[in-house]
Chain A
Amino acid sequence: MPKYGIIGTIIARHKKDPSRLIELMRDVQKEVGYISPEAIAAIAEKLGLSTADVAGVATFYHFFSTAPAGKYAVYLNTNIAAVLKGRAEIAAAFEKETGVKFGQTTPDGLIGLHETSCIGMNDQEPSVIINGVVVTKLTKSKVKELVAAMKAGRDIRTLVKKYGDGANQSRLIRAMVVNNIRKKGPVLFAPFKPGSAIKRAVTWTPEDVIAEIKRSNLLGRGGAGFPTGLKWEFCAREKSERHYVVCNADEGEPGTFKDRVILTELPVLLFEGMAIAGYAVGATEGIFYLRAEYAYLKPYLENILETLRKKNILGKNVAGKRGFNFDIVLKMGAGAYICGEESALLESAEGKRGEPRDRPPFPVQYGYLGYPTTVNNVETLCAAARILEKGAGWFKTMGTPKSAGTKLLSVSGDCKKPGVYEVEFGLTVKKLLEMAGVRDAQAVQVGGPSGNCISRSQFDRKICFEDLPTGGSIIIIGPGRDLFEVIHNFMDFFVEESCGWCVPCRTGNVLLKKKLEKITSGRGTDKDLAEIVAWGKIIKAMSRCGLGQTSANPILTTLLNFRHLYEAKINKDLDFISLFDLEAAIQPAASVTGQKLAEVHHE
């Protein structure tokens, strides 16, 4: 046994490589149950790091804990779709059955209840992840069954009795997750012959591959919409001994789950897309960064990579192209929304806290380990492979003048047919709602919390970069819902997921949320409405990265599109109401002494 016992073994397994710190810690978390102070000290010593830095990584990610997380670590997500589908009841059932609250572990260390952000299962909520196993569509009785099984010491995998459709049934996945592919389009979900894209690409020069992508007008599918061809060109132009391709499979925007379906059903198309990107920018290595929530797909995806090596779609002289060597390494995340931001993702892939970098330099100049890197979304790489297979001209026949091709939409919330829809850009929201079997939506959240909340009068608007851009998240809010519940949920999400690096995002969002609470509790005035807009603008302007630059959107877009709801909450006859609520403040004291509020508090 090496020094430090099991922790020493794990450190050795990862070759004392600091860039593998996340993988190493994932193993410690899994095998020891938490990142103990002893583990932090041992890792720091062996890897030549400061314990402050190691503890920094251990305390950054949702799926790491510095206290025992339970032999069974239950992660229930806080996403609004789960809330709409009865999350509160499920949470209460877990607490009742285990006897502990969320954030706690049972005294015997058996079951830990934890909260996390969106786990990419919006179309089958409420869902939990228990020891990496996804359990979907929970009911109170299922929770009872789950907890009983945990108390009996059973393997969670044995509780998954019915597998989902398609590859979810494959030997290496065996998940109860369902794909919910509602509409297949001509780009992503059309039949694909493995190898056809990369084989065609390597008959061209890398410059011509980039030119073809540029001609296609392919824009990044993660939401920001940066031209993919241009990104590849910038990266290829940088003089360096090495270049990297990084696939961003960390879809964390609440409500998006389309990459989950691509990874399950179209991994070959995706990995071919990575190889094509590698060929274009001159990379020999690709990093596939997979969000921790999708760890259940890891063995399956690693097996696909191995198959592709055997088929010469990866490895030496790829697709028969002499001198073009390219392989893909799978790296895991550990739960953090911010890691979907490309520079934060690179930090995380290097084994650090997933905090964004200052730009410039951009990743195409200074990316993974400092080398020029193109970071592309899963769906973007798939579309790129299709473009190389079928041509830019074909691709441009679909969509709108500025948004070519199709888009995968993840539709969830109050609708009959939640799931993935591949539609041409330019589709109206109204048409999408019809497809999803929605007749009476009150509001539609386009692009997740960081996007835009639109009202009925705007349902003729089009989903495309010219009008309503989206990374794919579409959450439908039905007529009977309290929209403020949705807005509060989104603000809680941003407060929780802010990395805290910069002041406006770290503190501004907390202040914004408190202001919103003041208004919705009926203590707001016109002045509060004016202030919440002003504060939102400050946070947008002064924040360091996209998170803080969009975190005020749930409030700002609803104030624009649903102002009457706010107006109905505020006091019109008063100029000012103090934030300090005297009655609430003396309530605890009054309840201890048994006095009525009126007896303690005299006007």
Chain B
Amino acid sequence: MNKIIFKIDGKECFAEPGQTIMEAALENGVYIPSLCRAENITPAGSCRICTVRVDGKYMAACTQPVANGMSVENKAADLEDMRKSLIEMLFVEGNHMCPTCEKSGNCELQALAYRYQMLVPRFPYQFPVRTIEPAGPKLLLEHNRCIQCLRCVRQVKSKDGRHVFGILHRSKKRKIGVDHGLAAALTDKTAKEAMDLCPVGALLKKEVGFVVPIGKRKFDKKPIGSEFDK
């Protein structure tokens, strides 16, 4: 098969047919920010932070296949501001209290907010009333912090392939649901994997906390996307 040749912000890039813009960008050393995307999981296109612009059209880099001759805009100032606005929307739609969150420093939402130098969101806080729910004996589901990236919905399954997590309701009432029977079968190992999969502090392993102190965590050492910044 022939290689695809395309451009991101003028830089010549190469891709294999069938790759998404996101996959190709990362292979070519170009960072496109994202939240809902995770390695080896079918993309969901839910956070829209990876939105890029091609010929004036907006598309999610995580779901859009790359095409020969494409000219992708990734770092245009207005596009970056719209991405920042999505991060701000996520902060105001939930209740995010970074200083008391177990995920602080490992949280991708927080890390992106730092990357985009978010100080005060341009939108008013919504202060929704949300709850905390057990998800089996090993996990907590902290709805206040959930950004509905659907990573857990897509990836955490029972041995017979059923979803441990699902989606309830719609519109602003939409939230993650739990099959409590299936969640009960999660082991320490699979529960820890689920927690690590969650980009924010919505899925938390019970009975452990702050093993690594704040200040010494993943993004404390190396800001998100910094490996691509030269």
Whether chain B is bound by chain A comes out as yes
- Which residues of A are in contact with B by a Cβ distance under 8 Å? 44, 48-53, 55-56, 59-60, 336, 338, 353, 355, 358, 360, 495-504, 506-508, 510-511, 514, 531, 535, 538, 541-544, 579
Q: How far is the CB of B50 from chain A (nearest CB, A)?
A: 10
**Complex Cα gap A511–B121 (Å):** 12
> Which residues of chain B in 163-204 are interfacial with respect to chain A, using CB atoms and an 8 Å cutoff?
163-174, 177-182
Interface check B223, CB cutoff 8 A: no
Given A502-B45, A510-B126, A44 contacting B179 (CB threshold 8 A): yes
Given A502-B47, A503-B90, A60 contacting B164 (CB threshold 8 A): no
Other A-B pairs beyond A53-B162, A542-B82, 9, CB < 8 Å: A50-B162, A52-B178, A52-B182, A53-B166, A336-B170, A358-B43, A500-B169, A502-B46, A544-B46
Are B168 and A59 neighbours in the complex by a CB distance under 8 Å? yes
- B148 — which chain A residues lie within 8 A by C-beta? 500-501, 503, 506
Most buried by A among B48, B147, B148, B177: B48
Query: Quick one: closest A residue to B162, CB to CB?
Result: A50
Q: How far is the CB of B220 from chain A (nearest CB, A)?
A: 26
Q: Which 5 A-B pairs have the closest CB atoms?
A: A52-B166, A500-B174, A358-B63, A50-B162, A52-B177
**Which among B86, B158, B172 is the interface contact of A504 at CB below 8 angstroms?**
B86
B interface residues, tally (CB under 8 Å): 47
**Digit string of B51-87 for contact with A (CB within 8 Å is 1, else 0)?**
1000000101001110000000000000000100110
Query: Quick one: closest A residue to B82, CB to CB?
Result: A538
Are B174 and A506 neighbours in the complex by a CB distance under 8 Å? yes
**Which among B93, B147, B166 is the interface contact of A55 at CB below 8 angstroms?**
B166
- B158 — which chain A residues lie within 8 A by C-beta? 50
**Digit string of B117-131 for contact with A (CB within 8 Å is 1, else 0)?**
000001110100000
Interface check B38, CB cutoff 8 A: no
Query: Quick one: closest A residue to B169, CB to CB?
Result: A59
Interface check B92, CB cutoff 8 A: yes
- A495 — which chain B residues lie within 8 A by C-beta? 171-172
Most buried by A among B86, B168, B171: B171
Given A50-B162, A52-B166, A506-B171, A501 contacting B82 (CB threshold 8 A): no
Q: How far is the CB of A281 from chain B (nearest CB, A)?
A: 24
- B182 — which chain A residues lie within 8 A by C-beta? 50-52
Are A538 and B181 neighbours in the complex by a CB distance under 8 Å? no
**Which among B64, B89, B180 is the interface contact of A507 at CB below 8 angstroms?**
B89
**Which among A59, A60, A501, A510 is the interface contact of B172 at CB below 8 angstroms?**
A510
Are A502 and B48 neighbours in the complex by a CB distance under 8 Å? yes
Given A52-B178, A358-B60, A542 contacting B48 (CB threshold 8 A): yes
- A51 — which chain B residues lie within 8 A by C-beta? 166, 179-182
Interface pairs (14), CB distance under 8 Å: A50-B164, A52-B165, A55-B166, A56-B177, A336-B170, A360-B65, A506-B148, A506-B171, A506-B174, A511-B124, A531-B122, A542-B48, A543-B48, A544-B45
**Which among A56, A497, A503 is the interface contact of B167 at CB below 8 angstroms?**
A56
Query: Quick one: closest A residue to B175, CB to CB?
Result: A500
**Complex Cα gap A53–B63 (Å):** 23
Given A51-B181, A52-B164, A500 contacting B51 (CB threshold 8 A): no
Q: How far is the CB of A340 from chain B (nearest CB, A)?
A: 14
Are B163 and A50 neighbours in the complex by a CB distance under 8 Å? yes
Q: How far is the CB of A147 from chain B (nearest CB, A)?
A: 29
Are A52 and B171 neighbours in the complex by a CB distance under 8 Å? no
Query: Quick one: closest A residue to B122, CB to CB?
Result: A531
Q: How far is the CB of B2 from chain A (nearest CB, A)?
A: 19
- B165 — which chain A residues lie within 8 A by C-beta? 52
Query: Quick one: closest B residue to A56, CB to CB?
Result: B166
Given A52-B179, A496-B171, A504-B86, A542 contacting B51 (CB threshold 8 A): yes
Query: Quick one: closest A residue to B168, CB to CB?
Result: A59
